[in-house]
Amino acid sequence: MQFRYLGDSGFKISEITYGNWLTHGSQVENEQAQACVRAALDVGISTFDTADVYANTQAETVLGEALKGERRESLEILTKVFGPTGPKGHNDVGLSRKHIMESINGSLTRLQTDYLDLYQCHRYDYETPLEETMQAFADLVRVGKVLYIGVSEWTAEQLRDGHALAQQLGFQLIANQPQYSMLWRVIEGVIVPTCIELGISQVVFSPLAQGVLTGKYRPGEQPPAGSRATDEKGGANMIKRWMSNDVLERVQQLVPLAEEAGLSMAQLAVAWALQNDNVASAIIGASRPEQVHDNAAASGVKLDADLLIKIDDVLDPVVERDPARTSRSSPKTREA
């Protein structure tokens, strides 16, 4: 396992982060979830990402149990705040000081730790003054509950404003967590150049495009039984944007390219995301330990320039690059 610095800091995380969105506490039984976390530790993954909103707090609980007994200093534990949790009352969502201060205590309890390595704004809150949000984070850093601050799916302007306030308040905003894959490249045009300028790294999610880039979904065929595309609890809705025959046909054209490089399709996809120097880590999810072992082998892989060109030639017509897609990720009201 290789490690990279996160932003302009001395803090390192593993190139592969284990995440439990859409799995722990909902899709995967706890025993299997713990086996996946154990597999992640076995292959050298030290960074674990979750969020309080995942499975309405249950994902944090499962991860906390799975990591219990591990040396805390050898781990990097990341979680997020924004989404509605608990009974989803009027203050159970957003980035108000009240919600942040109450959420951090819940997350620390569920994760069975005294502090978080990185606490992230899960989305941008249009209904709370940014100054209020950043002051709350500054206070958490000062009392030692949080070491570093990050965000997820913020626009370039929002990143600039947040970074400036963080500097004024004396803490570091060092990470952004966007969606990024061979098929979804909306951060490349504006977000990445802005983050390079500001000293912010990307910790990217869905490098496999919800599993489509593994090649297991074939054009004109029903999705495999038990796959994410058949999961009506959330997975099927998330993956449907990639399930057109045009996309699936082009993904199948990547199979010989992966074979030529001596990689599985999953390894090719994860390694591709890590070729971007502004990407500190790629988040993988898993429902079986063998998936963790396969994905983790992408760490340290260097793809040659000719292969990257061939990938672009195959996928170019179906790649999403519109930078405006980032601004659509955050709800304009908390009720959305």
- Write out the chain in H/E/C secondary structure: CCEEECCCCCCEEECEEEECCCCECCCECHHHHHHHHHHHHHCCCCEEECCCCHHHHHHHHHHHHHHCCCCHHHCEEEEEECCCCCCCCCCCCCCCHHHHHHHHHHHHHHHCCCCEEEEEECCCCCCCCHHHHHHHHHHHHHCCCEEEEEECCCCHHHHHHHHHHHHHHCCCEEEECCECCCCECCCCCCHHHHHHHHCCEEEEECCCHHHHHHCCCCCCCCCCCCCHHHCCCCHHHHHHHHCCHHHHHHHHCCHHHHHHHCCCHHHHHHHHHHCCCCEEEEEECCCCHHHHHHHHCCCCCCCCHHHHHHHHHHHHHHCECCHHHHHHCCCCCCCC
**Mean pLDDT value across the chain:** 93
Catalytic residue flag (residue 54):
yes
Residue among 18, 54, 119, 148 flagged as catalytic: 54
Mean pLDDT along residues 252-264? 97
Classify residue 170: in a domain, yes or no. yes
Contact 36, 18 (CB under 8 A): yes
Does residue 231 carry a pLDDT above 80?
A: no
48 located within any domain: yes
Q: Given pLDDT bands bounded at 50, 70 and 90, which one contains residue 227?
A: low
Question: Does residue 60 have a pLDDT over 60?
Answer: yes
Number of domains in the chain: 1
Asked whether residue 321 is assigned to any structural domain, the reply reads no
Per-residue tokens: 32: 């299997």
* Percent of the chain predicted with pLDDT > 70: 93
Residue 18 belongs to domain spanning: 3-211+277-301
Across the range 128-138, mean pLDDT stands at: 98
State which amino acid sits at residue 307. Answer: L
Per-residue pLDDT for 73 more than 60? yes
Residue 130's identity, in one-letter code, is L
Q: Tell me the pLDDT band of 336, cut-offs 50, 70 and 90.
A: very low
pTM, two decimals, is 0.93
- In a domain? residue 25: yes
pLDDT at 147: 98
| Residue 274 confidence (pLDDT) above 90 | yes
Do strands 3-5 and 201-204 pair parallel, antiparallel, or not at all (unpaired)? Answer: unpaired
Q: Give the Cα separation of 35 and 43 in Å (integer).
A: 13
Mean pLDDT of 140-150: 98
Query: Distance between CA atoms of 48 and 292, rounded to whole angstroms?
Result: 13
CA 294, 296, 300, 302 dihedral sign is positive
Q: Over 90: is that where the pLDDT of 4 sits?
A: yes
* 252, part of any domain: no
260 is a domain residue: no
Q: Span 205-227, mean pLDDT?
A: 83
d(CA 199, CA 73): 24
pLDDT for the residue numbered 2: 98
List the single range of 31-40, 111-120, 163-172 with lowest mean pLDDT: 31-40
Give the type of residue at 25: G
What is the residue whose two structure tokens read 């990185």?
118
Whether residue 139 lies inside any domain: the answer is yes
Please report, for the domain that includes residue 187, its CATH number. Answer: 3.20.20.100
Q: Is the predicted pLDDT of residue 234 greater than 70, yes or no?
A: no
- State the pLDDT confidence band at 232, using cuts at 50, 70 and 90: low
Flag whether 26 is in a domain. yes
